[in-house]
Structure 1
Amino acid sequence: MLEFKDFEGRKVTLEFKENKSAKHVLAICKFDDKYLMTNHKIRGIEFPGGKVEPDETLEEALHREVFEETGASIESLEYVGFYTVHDERPFSKAVYYADIKDIFFKCDYLETSGPVLYRTIEEVPGEESSILLEDECIRYLYVRSLDDSFFSKK
C-alpha cells in the first residue's frame, strides 16, 4: 500500500488489489498514443470517471462514464487497483488503464465539454488543468502508466 496527500491535505491510500465495493471509477485512457481526457465544465481537464450506479459493475460504470464524458468506446481494460480518500466519509475509487477503440461525436457530454487528447499531462495548459491532475496519487498512477506493459503492448 502506498500513501499520499491530496490537494486538500487528506490522507490517500493506494492499494493494488481487487476492490469490487468501490463506488467510483477512474480511467487513465490512451487513444493513438495520446492520453484521452475530458474537459469538466467546472474543474477543467482531467481523466474521465465518476460514480458507480446501483446494480452496475465497476467495468460497466467505467464504460458508461468514459462514453458519457468523451464519446469514446473502450477496446480493452486493465484493473490497476483502488485508492481511498480518508475523510469524514471515506470513499474509494477503482482505477483502470483503458485502451480506446473509437471516439464518437456527441451533442451532449453531460457535465463535461467532451474529449481532449494530449501526449502527456504536462502539455495541458495550467489554466485549463483540473486540480485533480496535481493530486499526488493520480500523478503516481499517470507516471506508472508511462511504463506499464498494458499500453506498451498495443
Structure 2
Amino acid sequence: MYRFFDYYHNEVHLSFEDHPFSTNPKHVWVICRYENKWLLTKHSDRGYEFPGGKVEANETAVAAAIREVKEETGGIVETINYIGQYKVAGKERTIVKNIYYAIISELIKQEGYFETYGPILLDEIPEGVQKDRRYSFIMKDEVLQRSLMEIKKRFL
C-alpha cells in the first residue's frame, strides 16, 4: 500500500491488491495500449489523460471502463485487466477508483467524443509529465508512475 498526496494536496492511498477499498467503486481509470503505443484522450478541460469516469447505475466497474474507453477514444477493448485501486480523501468526499490495463484492438472514428477531443497516441509517457501543462492533474501524481511500473512488471 502506498500513501501520498495528489496534485491538489488530497491524501491518496494506492494498492495493487484485490479491491482493498471497495468491491463496488464508483469510478474507473483505464491505462490503454493500442498498436504498442499509449492511448490517451484529450479532455476538454483537463488536458491529456487516460480514459475513465463514473460507473453508472446498474453497471459494473469493468463495463464502465470499457464504455469510457469507447466514448472518450473510440477504442474497442480487446483485453482488460484489473491492476489496482486507489482512494482519494478529498475535501468534500472520498473517491475510490479502479485502475485497469487494456489492450485496444481498433480505434473507431466517432462523430463526437464524450467530454473529450478524442484519441491521443504516444510512444512514451514523457519524463516530467508532472510539470507539463498539456497533461491532466490525474497524470501528475504517483498513481500513474506506480501503475506503469505495475503494468511493466505484469504485462510488458
Q: Report the TM-score, using the length of structure 2 for normalisation.
A: 0.89
Aligned to 1:58: 61
CA shift, 1:26, in A, is 0.3
Question: Could you list the runs of 4 or more consecutive aligned residues of structure 1 that deviate by over 2 angstroms after TM superposition?
Answer: 123-127, 142-145
Give matches, 1:139-150, under 5 Å: 139-145=145-151, 147-150=152-155
Query: Which ranges in structure 2 are unaligned for 5 or more consecutive residues?
Result: none
More helix by share: 1
**Contact residue 3 and residue 14 of structure 1 kept, 8 A:** yes
Q: Does 1:101 align with 2:105?
A: yes
What do you get for the CA RMSD once the two structures are aligned? 1.6
What's the secondary structure of 1:59's corresponding residue?
Answer: helix
CA shift, 1:143, in A, is 3.3
Aligned to 2:12: 12
Aligned to 2:140: 134
In 2: Cα distance, 1:140 partner to 1:27 partner: 14
Instruction: Indicate which of 80, 83, 92 corresponds to 2:83.
Output: 80
What's the secondary structure of 1:85's corresponding residue?
Answer: strand
Matched-pair identity in %:
39
**Contact residue 84 and residue 93 of structure 1 kept, 8 A:** yes
In 1: Cα distance, 2:149 partner to 2:121 partner: 17
CA shift, 1:41, in A, is 0.8
Instruction: Indicate which of 39, 43, 47 corresponds to 2:42.
Output: 39
Aligned to 1:118: 122
